[in-house]
Chains A and B, each alone.
Chain A
Amino acid sequence: MKTMKYLTKILILLGVVSLVSCSQKDKWDEPDIPCQNPSVSVNATISDILALSPSGDITQIDDDLNFEGYVISSDEAGNFYTTLVLQDAPQNPTAGISIAVDKRNLYVDFPVGKKVVVKAKGLFVGKDNGVYKLGFTYDSGRGTHIGRMSASEGEKRLFATCDAPVKITPVEVSLQDFRNNSDAYINKLIKINDVQFRKGDLCSTYALEGLSGVNKYLEDCNGVSLVMRNSGYADFARQKVPSGKGYVIAVAGKYRSTPQIYIRDTNDVHFDGPRCDGSNPECDAASLTPNATIADLKTALGNNDLVQITDDWIIEAVVTASDKSGNLYKSVYIRDQSGGIRLGLNMRDLYLRGYHRGAKLRIKVKDLYVGKTSGGEIQLGDLYNGHIGRITDEIDQDHIFFTDETVDVEPVALTPGAATYDMVGQLVRLSDVKFSDYDVNEYFAYSDSQSNNPNPRSANRVIRACSGQGEIIVRTSGYSDFADAHVRYGTGTITGILSCYDANHDGAIGQDEYQIILRDIYDVDMTQMRCDPPVLLETFGLTQKNMEIDLRGWYNYAEAGTRKWQGGFYSGSVNHYAQMSAYRSGEAQNIAWLVSPGIAVSNGMTLSFQTAKAYWTHDALKVYISTDFNGFDVRSATWTELPARIATDSDPNHAWIDSGDIDLSAYSGQVVYIAFRYKGSDDYHRTGTYRIDNVVIKH
């Protein structure tokens, strides 16, 4: 009994003790981290290191050299990236160096003003695009460069000292002096007084998100200019540059022979005073009141080919199509209630520069030009060799002002065959349309990604109304990112810009000279069933060049020899077809069958297709029909030759010959197979090439 009471007491005591003592603490004491200075003895200066590579040639540092320097760069705002710039003294530095380390947020360990010791042995020093750099080498494919050391190498070589960061006094220099003698300042923190952004850069943003870097131009009051290089990843990239004049603090650098400066963040820019000319430039779209329309511009042009706008007109318009997909090049389309127009701008990546779809902008059109392009389309732009041209980036900022608004742009309806010249430039939508039979499954255009093709090619595809006869061209650039997309089979809607091309150069636009320019592939919405579909339609658009044809339902068979029908592609017309030749088959006999899927024939059905020949040696192709083919055994089936016109010796090489409509009514009620049979021989020089395309059976 006593022991039990004892035990009980012990257990209770244990419980109380553990309830009190086992609690996990909520507050942690700050760890005592005594700062330890790097146990590296400094035995060199930055100048010593630079002296190892007097001419800038990349040189490996073999000696046990350790140097120190003060941090002047900061990657906090993102304008510097994996780069640490050191100079040898907080003020009046004699040398500086740029160190490349593959680590982000270097500023956390190496804030501005921190004294840093660097173990240089094993690293490479030399000039990279004009600037002394320290790092490891890499091969860019165009020579050896100094690149980043890995983060772990950085940890072994860069040591922050325990000294608190010191104030860095920038070297004061005039813009002119800096330009004249930039090498003396590179990799140093400088201060340039009495500068402003060049007029062309006013009201623009420091950089463009998505682009790695852009140049902004500073100028002094004498008009001498200097590049300020800003990264698209900087967190001030979307901020507008200030319009006044003042001083800038920056790290001096160079790109090849061009001096450049890099700010750490926008606190380095102090442009508070009035500009050199005392002006207060206007850059706010809100201060512009629209007083004209796109229709006014077209009216001003009248029947002329070119006119300069002299009225103080301001138009407000919305971007309907940008160059994002690559289908437009150095131009966008804009519109207002009165209509649409092409806007030529001499810059790439306009969609990143604010000209994205839906962006609302205001344009001071005075002094700009309106004119007809060689294709007969009206463009708003600038003068170029006596014709309408593009507005250069230097002057666009005097004329074009972005509002902060992005709006939805709804297309206006258009029927194929009913386009008018007034509508050119407008965003239109065609409903209940389909692509023409021969275009189905072909590429929209021929892109540069196809077999590393160096010559992308535009292509025309035709769309037709499901009701009526109207048709219109869809023209796509080989540089567009959807050039490789296949033309859809179904019926649906097409949205795009109505454009035109005066193909016969008669100065007038005929109905067949209108074109649709797609903004991107999502403008094609062909998800409904195709209207009035053929019973069989094969354009061979889904085959691959020089690969054996393997299309669903089709039977590709070598009766003799091993060569089968292959895919063919001609970039000139951006067209796929089927092709067979015995040339270099190395076989005594080649008999190749390409048999269609079974088709249930009803009265009035006709077959048509196209053939072409090349390197003709003999009539190698015959076309047959069978009602008893079992899907794989061509020999046991009964084949009847069809009376088709097939390309022969007298036809031009490569020319597509229509077979003519072959009436299949005799087979009404039966399932038929159409066979294309090639017969040739490599041994006996019966090697001619035959091609087939656009096999159609319809009512």
Chain B
Amino acid sequence: MKKVLLTLIYVLPFTLWAQDTGAVKGSVEDADTGNPVEGVKVYINNLSISATTDAQGIFELKDVPPGNMNLVVEKDGYERQVFPIVVKPGETLDLGTLILWNAETQNADLGVINLSEQEIMSDDNDNLENVSGILQSGMDAFSRAASYQFSNARFSMRGLDSKYSTVWINGVPMNRLYDGRPQWSSWGGLNDVMRAREIYPNLSASDYDASGLLGGVNYNMKASDIRKTKKISLALTNRSYRERIMASYASGMNKNGWAYALLVSGRFAHEGYLEGTFYDAKSIFGAVEKKINDRHDLNLTFFITPNKRGKSSPNTMEVYDMKGARYNAYWGMQNNEKRNARVKKLNAPTLILTHNWTFNENTSLQTSLAYRWQKTANSRIGYYNANNPDPTYYRYLPSYWLAKNNLPEAANAYLQFMQYGQIDWNYLYQANKNNTADEGSARYYLYDDAISDENYYFSSIFSKRFSDALNFTGGIHVISSASEGFAKMNDLLGAPFFYDKNPYADPGFEDNDSNYPNRKVKEGEKFGYNFLINGLKARAFVQAQYYSKSLDLFAALSGGITQYQREGLFDNPLFEDSYGKSPFYHFNEYTLKLGATFKLTGRHLLDAHFISQNRAPDMKNIFYNSRVSNDVVENALVPEEIRGFDLSYIYRSPYVKSRLTFYVNQVSNTVDIQRFFAEGISLNGVQGIPSNINGNAFFLTQVMTGVSKFYQGLEYGMEIQLSPTWKANLAYAYGKHIYNNNPDVYVASDLFNATYLGKTYMVGYRLANGPQQAASIGLEYRSPHYWFAGANLNWFNNSYVSVSPLLRTERFYLDPATNEPYGEIQDYKNHDDWDIPAVTEDILSDLLKQEKLDSFVHINLIGGKSWKVKDYYIGLFVLVNNLFDNVSPTGGFEQSRKASYPELYVDRKINPVPVFGNKYWMSYGRNYFVMLSLRF
């Protein structure tokens, strides 16, 4: 096939001909596969002349007036292209083959690798699954930047948690009831079969439900939705995994009405970017579809994605300064291999049966039944009357000795930590072997905190188009879920068994399950805690959409109920209500969404959306101590109240596309639960705490209720088509995401149930949701010779560490004896140099100032090329992120351990290095992703 260099069209000489009009013809080809593309819209900008490509990808425009003009070529899923052309009267301009770049091929891979980074870092006690940007990839310049450029730095769309977005697969909502979030890794590695999707950004109308603040995405994973292809790809990277291999086959719909799709993939790393983080993920996908007749179509989709990976620790600056940004405290050498103690395992086999019923071309009903069995496990080392095996435990670090002014020991701790500074597995085995107490019951053991979910889904979506101007959608979703949580003995580390006891409990209260006293736990057995939570969510929604030339409107309304019940399977003697069933807790939910698009002209649009939503609390926030107690905090049993509004100005011309959005969201009545060891806190005089509780160090569960968060900001994105080959992009986000009330704080421990402690003064503190300011500027070249290259410069600012609510309560600065702010204390705890000034507002605000992380710049490069050899298509894709190896913290949190003013003052103002300083996650340094793919 003859190819024309389109850039040369500019300089084509032209002559005047007698005829008044000319014509334009050409064909369109997929840059990845070289296949002709059907159904591409080709038109001359500003003229009502348009055509659509046929099955051979060929188009022809007739009666085109002569002159210089722009030819626009566009199709969903492809990058829009604009070609300047010169039409001569009476002449047919043959453009030859035009290449369309698939908008998602490379980007989808990019998005998914970003996802796995987030997951590998996130632990149970943080809030960093900021993957929401991925949802909106491919939408517009801003969303693309958010997905591919910003997400490396934990940027989150509008500062919101991913639980405010919904992921549907074949119309079935896949967010977990446990935390409301989509569990991305449970469909990881399925990239090639997840290309067909419908994205509903932010507050826009969606076809499957009245979704939340971040909208959602529906993946069509039916066999016929997957593009007919055979593909094998191999990717090499140095990020969370090292290599990825993927093979897929999709038959397309054959003559007999059958379609099949298959995918097998694996992602592996012996060690990822961070030390000791292995990665082992396999994915298998299968779908079969039968078109019974014109009306009925039945599809079965199945996938299973077992994966496990070694997690990495957040660390204090002290530790990073000693060991570097790739340091991970979770591993140690065993038999000359790096063994990670914190392994996250996930497997969620999912089966979806979908029936499509097409009544006529305007009316359809899609009904799905799904079953999903999700098992997650997070391992960690347990220890019973033995020393903490964590190499970064505060007593093992130099700061601990510096605080005691013991320089020789500090130097010694430094040397020890530098020499090894990892888990000493051999010691743990040795300690178990040596132990003669309790018949040799394990002193150290590796166990899993496991959650096993069984979920049943029923979804049915009805849609009817009354006219070109009016569209109606409605449906119901029912999810029934039974989650069992338990600890499971993973490895006794050489010990014969473990007595299922709590080392901190009094005699008579030590058994974790008093129904089975003195139980000896073997590997593979449940122990510690065991409970069930049954959840049911049912929802119905309706949506109407109206389109006209100058105005589009939509309204969506949903209502539903959610209920939860806990059942304790172990009877923990420390908690009165640990065994048996709790009452049912019911919540009513509703969502109202309204939207309007004012088309001022074809180029200028105003787009406004509003949402009012009551959202049931997530399962994990109902029972604050779900492992051992049915107890609840009454104030936490209220739906989240969500109000949101956004207004966008959209400009589109052939060369420039831009969007400016202002958003304001308010989320109220949320609940936040954390667990930590608090020191120096006195609970003296707190109503409801038994008066015989002495001491001032507690392992606390902190429940924050009635939390109100406020999000406002701007999003700006622009793409400029400088020429058919050069494109520039610009994106900028500015957000202010803050706490805007003073929530209530409750605390609980082994010794007392949740008790009201008072308000925590959080107003004005920033949410720790990644950079609240980010900018990206980039340039991209797409050659007609099937290659492309681009570079982006990204700047991030206004990231904050997460603040500890307990330190912002009155309890923090009130002297428990006088119930007044601490006065001056000389020689605190008999240390000569520990003089603590009286509490003043200045000192408090200095001590409790939220840490703002440094701004930083990353430069990312991207490039690719495809070749066609006979019937084979070879694609190469290369990505280099953070070219200049700029490593800095991207997130962090305050430790709550020093929970009183004098304790924190000593640690922050007197100790040479804080013993309990903030902990951080670091960005990756320079990293790459290279992929070679083969289609046939």
Contacts and interface: CB of A to CB of B under 8 A. Distances in A.
Interface of A: 1, 4, 7-8, 11-12, 14-15, 18-19, 22-24, 27-33, 74, 76, 103-105, 107-109, 111-114, 150, 152, 160, 165, 209-210, 235-236, 238-239, 322, 324-325, 351-352, 356-359, 406, 481-482, 484-486, 520-522, 524
A426 to B, nearest CB: 18
Contact of B434 (A109, A150, A356, A406): A109
B435 A108 contact: yes
A28 B491 contact: yes
Contact of B817 (A28, A30, A521): A521
Q: Which of B430, B434, B870 has the most CB of A within 10 A?
A: B434
Contact of A111 (B270, B434, B823): B434
B934 interface: yes
Contact of B819 (A24, A30, A33, A522): A522
Contacts of A31: 334-335, 425-426, 429
B437 A14 contact: no
A23 B280 contact: yes
B245 A406 contact: no
A160 B691 CA distance: 45
B426 A481 contact: no
Given A4-B872, A15-B266, A33-B429, 18 more contacts: A4-B870, A11-B247, A15-B264, A18-B243, A18-B245, A19-B245, A24-B280, A30-B494, A108-B387, A109-B434, A150-B409, A152-B409, A152-B412, A152-B413, A165-B436, A358-B692, A520-B684, A521-B685
A107 B339 contact: no
B437 A152 contact: no
Contacts of A111: 434-437
B450 to A, nearest CB: 14
Contacts of B820: 484-486
Contacts of A406: 690-692
25 contacts: A8-B872, A11-B247, A15-B247, A18-B268, A19-B264, A19-B266, A23-B280, A24-B308, A27-B491, A28-B491, A29-B335, A104-B387, A105-B386, A108-B386, A108-B387, A236-B507, A239-B507, A351-B692, A359-B692, A406-B692, A481-B817, A481-B818, A482-B817, A486-B818, A521-B685
B385 A105 contact: yes
Interface residues of B, number: 60
Contact of A484 (B409, B494, B507, B823): B823
B234 interface: yes
B88 interface: no
Contacts of B936: 4, 8
A230 to B, nearest CB: 14
Contact of A356 (B245, B412, B692, B819): B692
B431 A108 contact: yes
Contacts of B243: 18, 22
A472 B822 CA distance: 29
Contacts of B264: 15, 19
> Dominant SS at the A interface?
loop
Contacts of B833: none
Contacts of A356: 691-692
Nearest to A519: B691
A481 B308 CA distance: 54
Contacts of A22: 243, 266, 268, 270, 280
Nearest to B870: A1
Interface string B436-449: 11000001000000
Nearest to B826: A452
Contacts of B493: 30
Nearest to B818: A485
B436 A113 contact: yes
Nearest to B415: A152
Nearest to B872: A4
Given A11-B934, A76-B385, A19 B232 contact: no
Interface string B483-497: 000000001011000
B278 interface: yes
B308 A15 contact: no
B448 to A, nearest CB: 11
Interface in B820-865: 820, 823
Nearest to A210: B694
Contacts of A7: 934
B47 interface: no
Nearest to B279: A24
Contacts of B431: 108-109
B695 interface: yes
Contacts of B819: 482, 485, 521-522, 524
B416 A152 contact: yes
Interface in B403-432: 406, 409, 412-413, 416, 425-426, 429-431
Interface in B488-519: 491, 493-494, 503, 506-507
Contacts of A486: 818, 820
Contacts of A18: 243, 245, 266, 268
B347 to A, nearest CB: 12
B694 A209 contact: yes
Contacts of B430: 33
A160 B427 CA distance: 13
Contacts of B247: 11-12, 15
B416 A358 contact: no
Given A357-B691, A485-B820, A520-B685, A15 B232 contact: yes
A22 B243 CA distance: 10
Interface string B235-253: 0000000010111000000
B510 to A, nearest CB: 9
A30 B819 CA distance: 55
Interface in B785-836: 817-820, 823
Contacts of A113: 436
Interface in B225-283: 232, 234, 243, 245-247, 264, 266, 268, 270, 278-280, 282
B8 interface: no
B11 interface: no
B437 A74 contact: yes
B817 A14 contact: no
Contact of A76 (B437, B818, B869): B437
A150 B410 CA distance: 11
Nearest to B308: A24
A165 B503 CA distance: 24
Nearest to B827: A452
Given A24-B278, A235-B507, A210 B934 contact: no
A386 B691 CA distance: 36
Contacts of A27: 491
B339 A28 contact: yes
Nearest to B345: A26
B336 to A, nearest CB: 9
A633 B36 CA distance: 90
Contacts of A238: 506-507
A652 to B, nearest CB: 33
Contacts of B437: 74, 76, 107, 111
A90 to B, nearest CB: 14
Contacts of B413: 152
Contacts of A114: 434
A524 B819 CA distance: 10
A443 to B, nearest CB: 9
B936 to A, nearest CB: 7
A358 to B, nearest CB: 6
Nearest to B247: A15
A571 B386 CA distance: 51
B232 A108 contact: no
Q: Which of A29, A108, A358 has the most CB of B within 10 A?
A: A108
Contacts of B436: 111-113, 165
A107 B434 CA distance: 9
Contacts of B435: 108, 111
B818 A482 contact: yes
Among all A-B residue pairs, the 5 with the closest Cβ atoms: A522-B685, A481-B817, A485-B818, A22-B268, A356-B692
